[in-house]
Structure 1
């Protein structure tokens, strides 16, 4: 009788291990989907939605969980990736268009051109006009 009970216990443990593995796999797949959806949302909204809260609500999670998940994949938090994506677009506009700083500030929903200048300078180490001039000079050399 004890052998039958022991076998039953072993079977239950194996089933529990399999269930745990399936659950872990499900969690990993959900994480991959969440990361993918985050990047889709980011591409669609980075210019107008600059806070992590918007993305977290859209993904039915918390800001903290989203930041941790994204950081575990990329080494940057979701908040940092939002800023990086925005800066890439701004740099592209500065380098490839003659759109005024004032218009770019409006396009990217900054409260003013001075706020745009301040944030751009903070993250890049140079004023937008300086960046544009350097980009223009590089393009002349090509």
Structure 2
């Protein structure tokens, strides 16, 4: 009998260059400090929820695929083209809550999400 792996969604930061930096639960602050130095980020006030030009993902370790009351995904700036491409290609790795938040933000910034299957969170370009 095979068991499906526990689903935890994404936890970490998506950098402006489209590289996802994963971290464990409650490790965002430590990772944020490293990324601020690595990417020479200006105007960082120490709040890991507000790292300029990064998109933050977080989940409680016990969250399920839906992610209700246990996860988030947000950025405060318009996603770069590299970030948008990564987000669209990786929506299937997110919890449903994270996916809804990301797709909402992409629509807000008028970024084309027509290739994304909104029910399954998969990038339809990969199915062809």
TM-score of the superposition, structure 2-length normalised? 0.31
More helix, by proportion: 1
The higher-RCO structure (CA 8 Å, 6+ apart) is 2
More strand, by proportion: 2
